Amino acid sequence: MTGSELRERFAASLMPNYGVPQIALTLGRGCEVYDADGRQYLDLIAGIAVSSLGHGHPALVKAVAHQAATLAHTSNLFINEREIELAERLVALLGGDAKVYFSNSGTEANEAALKLVKRAAGPGRHYFVAAGKGFHGRTSGSLALTGKDAIREPFGPFGMDVRFVPHGDLDALREAVDTGCTAVFVEPTQGEAGVVPAPEGYLAGVREVCDATGAAFVLDEIQSGIGRTGAWFAHQEAGVRPDVLTLAKGLGGGLPIGACVGFGRYADAFHKGDHGSTFGGNPIACAAALAVLDTIEKEGLLAHTAVMGDLLAEQLDAIDHPLVAGQRGSGLWRALTLTGPHAAHVQEQAAVRGFLVNAVAPDVIRLAPPLVITPEQIGVFIEALPTVLDAAEAATKEKQS
């Protein structure tokens, strides 16, 4: 089946919310993927920071196959061992005094967090604070907290009072949060806004504001968690702990899983029947996540990610091209910032030359490769990047003429 044929079938049978993607992938090995027409690509986006171990990693394949052959599903009516093991591992990595709820995705993890803080809130708390340009998901509660007007406004009203402040602006946050605030939802770095880190000390400042007012501090680490920045969790590098943490993406290494973690009094805030998911804590997804955590530890991928991230940043900084404004980010979560709205052309021209990158904003290319990427693979991309940028610049000029 050719890529053209698959695109026709896609357009005929799937809703148009994604448009029709131009590349139909059929095979993945490590950091490389192949399309239906046999073309090879270096995967520098990893399914949007999901495929932590790359594609077809033996540990993940073995864990999933074994669990599928043993017990594939139980629902929440029964205990399964993998769910307990994974919750215990996450609690240990986070330092204890926590409990976990498993979902199937990041937006579901944030929905759980939203209900959790409502259940824990005292009387008189009636509004939420979130960051402008932030992204927490596309289901109604998560979307209400998402500060991107273009995707939020068509689906309101949301039935909840959310007040937005600029990302990283502690003065604005202090002004917005008082004893009527239920919770503050933030990301350590805004992924969908273009991998935009907050200023140093921001998370500690959020913690102080929440401590002073009694609002819950909810930290969305759906993109940043599970090694993406070179640490297990970005908040650990900042030396703070939220009240509620949400995870997904890299946790399952490609399988759908999310987690909402409550600390302290938020660990036990839910009552029986308050929340649930038929597929949450699925044995196969949990087995995959355990394999991801095991492999990150055994292969030293936290340290590897930090080193590869520094290498990628250094080599991006060395690119001298009129389309390049700079780079930012941490670990293997980087943004190549551009001097104008060239990102779509850069993404297109990179794919033509065998590299998958993401035009996350009109002037930003997001890079989030598998954590197993090698120096040689980074070098191949950097060597080709000036040619990619030249072609994107030419495409921009052609479109403007």
Catalytic-labelled residue, pool 220, 233, 243, 363: 220
Catalytic-labelled residue, pool 35, 217, 249, 363: 249
Q: Is 220 a catalytic residue?
A: yes
Distances in whole angstroms, Cα of residue 392 to Cα of each of 135, 157, 327, 353, 398: 28, 40, 18, 12, 10
Angle ∠(279,21,342) on CA atoms, nearest 5: 120
DSSP-derived 3-state class of residue 289: helix
Dist CA 173 CA 215 (whole Å): 12
230: its two tokens: 């070179």
Catalytic-labelled residue, pool 102, 135, 217, 233: 135
Can you tell me which residue has the tokens 């690119």? 319
Query: What single-letter amino acid sits at 366?
Result: R
Q: Which residue, 242, 281, 238, is CA-closest to 259?
A: 281
Q: Is 263 a catalytic residue?
A: no
Query: What single-letter amino acid sits at 286?
Result: C
Q: Is 249 a catalytic residue?
A: yes
* H helix runs in 299-374, sequence order: 301-317, 343-352
Contacts 24+ apart (CB under 8 A), 308-317: 308/332, 308/371, 308/373, 308/374, 308/375, 308/378, 309/229, 309/230, 309/333, 309/334, 311/375, 311/378, 312/367, 312/378, 315/378, 315/379, 315/382, 316/382
Query: What single-letter amino acid sits at 210?
Result: C
Give the residue numbers marked as catalytic. 135, 220, 249
